[in-house]
Structure formats: structure tokens, C-alpha cells
Amino acid sequence: MAANDEEYAGNVKRQLGKLFETSLRTTVPDEPDVEPLIAACTAKFGDYQCNNAMGLWSKMRGKSTKFKGPPSVGQALVANLPQSEIIESCSVAGAGFVNIVLSKNWIAKSIQKMLLDGIEKWAPQLPVKRAVVDFSSPNIAKEMHVGHLRSTIIGDALARMLEFSNVDVLRRNHVGDWGTQFGMLIEFLFENYPNWEDVSETAIGDLQAFYKASKQRFDCDAAFKERAQQAVVRLQGGEPKYRKAWSQICEISRKEFDRVYQRLGTQLEEKGESFYHPHIPGVIKQLSDLGLVEESQGARVIFIEGINIPLIVVKSDGGYNYASTDLTALWQAATRAGWLPADDSGYPKASHVGFGLVLGEDGKRFRTRSTEVVRLVDLLDEAKSRSKTALIERGKAEEWTEQELEQTAEAVGYGAVKYADLKNNRLTNYTFDFDQMLNDKGNTAVYLLYAHARICSIIRKSGRDIEELKKTGTVVLDHAGERELGLYLLQFSEVVEEACTNLLPNVVCEYLYNLSEIFTKKFYSNCQVVGSPEETSRLLLCEATARVMRKCFYLLGIVPVYKI
């Protein structure tokens, strides 16, 4: 079976896998379930490697076989490969490892086709078609603080990567808008604002201070606490007065959230705890019918094997809690109820995307000097302010319009905060450091944004019409620096697939930084672009690099800049 050589879009590993799958079926027909093991090659002997020979020999060893060892298995895999313009050559090394050198003409052809057809043609193909990404999830009546930074940034990046991969993504903001604190807030509102229906956002003032004052009253006044607890039941029971007060508090809080989301460029669909309230009885009935719900001290609970404290699904006063709404939100995602496959082998699948802490310079949770949590809107504004100051110090206030200065300061400042978070494996802690993240050298958003702007500057200074060159020019990869850059550009799709599969945005960050380094140190330092005989091809390589960088920025939620 010949490979489809017109299939330039997509994952190189996947295309090589198809070729070696055909070879495996011919080489070892008695092993029909063996999947090709293809990996990018770090050695100088090839671009990719097929690593099946050793495993196959282990299975065949001691049996009647025509093979003499792993190298002969590898040689047979090469001999049985279908003809394809993708591969220039193959060699067998060591314990049967098949080193694969890609055709530089095929790499060039693939890049040129991407420039004409769009980078969306390089989107990976994932087995999942629809996904719910639950992220950010602040609590109503509390301001978003640095503790919400990672859930918001990581969640947005994962949603963007899945969307690029043609997955239908439901971006859910599971805000806390239905818990015990609302009885406390509503009663406090009634007491302090007799004309509460006419109260405005300005009258309430600082919502965080309003929350703290009501919480202090709740903790110190037993009568107030009892009224607040009853208010929750009345709210959840649908009494109009309580619903209206609740709605008013929620709306004020949403405006505060939006200040953060606008700065981060994050789109979310709010489905708070209240959204699931009408569905809770049906879910609890399902669980009860399965024999999972038991009575315990007046409450209805689910006991989990190995855990001493039960999961309370209905409180003793008849009210619902976080567990009630969370269970309902995860209607299709509980193994014990049969909502998920027991062995986690198929779909639907629920994955917990854990992440580490944001630390201060003292190695503890990032807080202000007064030990308060850092308001997220203040943190983002500080990043923008520092970025703008750096631009002014470089004389950009005289060169640019105020609008250009503001837009660049936002792109760089907000991008710096995002990238400093996302470049780390999400499971690790990291230290928040403005000076480090706003440095224009090293693995920072500032360095990468400026690198992109420099590439755009090269294209502009050439005076050539890049859109016309895409149609009439040809990409050539004769220089080693050109070929290395071209190969790395082609690996974009498999990098995004890996990031999606493992839910790790830092994989895209690492690729973006390496791409910038390869462009600068391997290609641009050794290959003159403007004024060279190869100008057309090299301008197209510049454009391809800029386009891939822009897509990486988009996947990370970072706005690119085009001049510095």
C-alpha cells in the first residue's frame, strides 16, 4: 500500500506510522496487533526513528523465525516500506533501530502548502470530538485573586488547543453562586440597606469588604448565623425576595470578574452551581436507585471505600451543598454510578487537571506585604504598567501613537504573566517574579514576542509582497540551517497533539522557544535573507516561522506584536 503523498497536512509521526504499519503487516504477519513505534530522533543519524525491532525480536526469540536478531528485523522493516516521497533514506543502527531521514523536498513542499492553505491544515486529529473544560471557577462576592490565575490561564490554553484540533469545546465557568455564604450576604444586605432593591454597585462599594463584614457578623452573632442559614434554604426554595437579592449580588460580582477576563482575553460560559439546582433531585434519585445514597445523622450521604468522611449530597436541613451541584455538573462523569467506563479506557472520560501554587519570593503562597491575597486585576495592571514603562524608556513614546503604546504594553505585560505560568509543567509550583518574566532575554514572552516582531521586520524591509511570493515562489532547503528550521516547523502538529493528549500547555511553550532559537541561531545567523540569491525562499521560511509562532501565541492566549 503506497502512502498518500498528497497528505502534507498533519502529523509527521502519524504519516510515518502509516508507512511502517504497512511494513509491519508484511514483515511480521503473525503479529497483527503490533503498532508502529515512531519517535523524533535526537541523534545525528536521522530525523525520526522506528523502534519496533527489539520488541518484535523479544516476542519471536526462541521460536522458528527467519530473523537472526533485532538488526535483521529492522532491515526487513526497511525493505518492506512502501515507496513514498516523504522518506529520503533509512538506515539500521544498534539493536535494530531504524533511522529515518525525511526528504528535504517533501519538507519544503509541505511548508509551501501550509502557507497557501493555512496552518489550520496542520491541526492534529484527536480521537475526542467534544470536551467540557471546567476552569477559573471563582466564588461570587469574592474578588478574583492570584489563586485563580493558574486555573484561568491553564484552562484557557487547553480550551484553545482543543478547539484548534477541531474539538467542540464547552468552556464552563462553574462559579460558586449558591452556597451557604449567600444566606450570610443576603441577610447582611437586608440589615444594612433597608432599601436594598435600589442599592447600586457604588453603594455596596468594595464587594470584598462587604463579604468580610458579613462573614465577621456570621462568625460572631449566633442569631444572625441562624437567620443566614435559613436564608439559604429560602433562596434555594425559590422565594422571590431572596432570589432578587441574590441576583443583584451576583451581577455586581460578574462585573468584577469581567474586568479580569477582558484583560486576559478569556471567553467563558457561566454555568454556576445555581444552574444545576433544578437537576439535583433527579441526579440524587438516580444515585439512590443505584443504592449508593444512605441516611447518616439526618443527612443523605454516599460512602466511598477507603475514605472515612462520607460525601454529603443533601444536608440535614434539606439544603444542597457543593457536592450536590458538583455531582450534577459531573452527571456523565462518575465511575461508581456507571457514568464513566470503569477501566478509564474509553469515552466519556474525566481528567483532573491539577496544578501547583504561585509562590512569592519567600517561597510561600504569593501574597501582599499585608498578607492579603493579591487581587488578580491589580497584578495584571502592574504587569502592563511595567511593560509600558520599559517601552517608554526605549523611546517608543516618541515613535508610536498612544494607542500603539497601550496595545503593545498590554500584549507584552499580560503575555508575560501568562507565559511565565504556562512554560512550567502545570503540576509544579513557580515563583512569581515581575523582573524575570518581563526580561527581554531568555525563555520569556517578551523575548518571544520581540523575536516574532523582528521576523516581521525582516519581511517588511525586503519590500516584497509576501502574499504574491506565496503563490509564485518556491521554498528550497539546501542549507543545513534552512533544513533544520523547515523540519522543526513541520513538527508543530505533533507537538500540539502531545500537549492536548497530556493536557500540558508547557509542551507548546517549549516548542515555541526552541523554534525561536533555531530560527535565530541556526537559520538567520547563517543564511542571509534580504539581498541574497535565495531571498524568495528565505522570506517564505520567515513567513512560515512567523505564522507558526503566531499560532503558538494564540494557543497560549498571547497577543503577538508586529514591531518593537
User: What residues does 89 pair with on adjacent strands?
Assistant: 101
Q: Which three cell numbers stand for residue 245?
A: 437579592
The CATH number corresponding to 376-555 among 3.40.630.30, 1.10.730.10, 1.10.10.10, 3.90.76.10 equals 1.10.730.10
Q: Which three cell numbers stand for residue 551?
A: 499560532
Consecutive H or E run containing 247:
helix 240-264
- Residue with the bigger pLDDT between 422 and 33: it is 422
Question: 533: how many CB neighbours lie within 10 A of its CB?
Answer: 8
pLDDT tens digits, one per residue of 28-73:
998 888 999 999 987 678 999 999 999 998 888 767 678 888 999 9
- Residue 363 contacts residue 431 (beta carbons within 8 Å): yes
Give the per-residue pLDDT at 3: 41
Give the per-residue pLDDT at 210: 85
> Strand, coil or helix: what is 374?
coil
User: 194 falls in which pLDDT band (50, 70, 90)?
Assistant: confident
CA distances 143 to 140, 307, 548, Å, are 8, 33, 36
User: 4 falls in which pLDDT band (50, 70, 90)?
Assistant: very low
User: Hey, what amino acid is at 142?
Assistant: K
- Residue 150 contacts residue 158 (beta carbons within 8 Å): no
> Strand, coil or helix: what is 426?
coil
Domain definitions of the chain by residue range: 12-102, 272-348, 376-555
Q: Which three cell numbers stand for residue 316?
A: 440535614
**Cβ contacts of 59 within 8 Å, gap of 6 or more:** 31
pLDDT tens digits, one per residue of 209-265:
888 899 999 999 999 999 999 998 899 889 999 999 999 889 888 988 999 999 999
Report the candidate in 240, 207, 214 with the shortest Cα–Cα distance to residue 228. Answer: 214
* Nearest-angstrom CA–CA distance, 183 and 200: 19
Buried b (16+ CB within 10 A) or exposed e, 495-522: bbbbbbeebbbbbbbbbbbebbebbeeb
Give the per-residue pLDDT at 373: 75
Query: Which of 12-21, 30-39, 271-280 bottoms out in mean pLDDT, i.e. has the lowest?
Result: 271-280
CATH superfamily membership of 12-102: Arginyl tRNA synthetase N-terminal domain (3.30.1360.70)
Residue 480 scores a pLDDT above 50 = yes
Question: Does the predicted model carry a pTM greater than 0.85?
Answer: yes
